[in-house]
Amino acid sequence: MNALVIFLIAIVAFEHIYFLILEMFFWTKPKGIKTFGLKSKTFAEETKILAANQGLYNGFLAAGLLFSIVERDLKMASFLLICVIIAGIYGTYTTKNRKLFYIQAVPAILAVTVTLIN
């Protein structure tokens, strides 16, 4: 695993740690409401348990990606990156928010491409 592969995988992992923080701890705060374009503080309060669950899954993705770096496991990294790409595509499709594709899927596409080339 070369430095570029490690760097790209780490970028995706740290993005997902950031998503975890936003979804688990800032969902009902102005930062979370603005970031996710939520309708209102009331809506944020009503959906905070769902968001926390979603954040936890993002944390698992991040942990798996970081573990794949430690273990130098390209197969695990590739699998998790593909999961991130699928989640980014699905999220973009369901929310009609193209920005999500560029934030979530594109870094994972770059990382998996470089990973598979190496």
Can you tell me the distance from the alpha carbon of 40 to that of 46, in angstroms, rounded to the nearest whole number? 10
Can you tell me the distance from the alpha carbon of 118 to that of 114, in angstroms, rounded to the nearest whole number? 6
- Cβ contact 6:111 at 8 Å: no
pLDDT tens sequence across 64-86: 999 999 999 999 999 999 999 99
- Please give the model's pTM, rounded to 2 decimal places: 0.92
Question: What are the distances in angstroms from CA 87 to CA 10, 13, 31, 41, 118?
Answer: 18, 14, 22, 26, 24
The chain-wide mean pLDDT, for the chain, equals 95
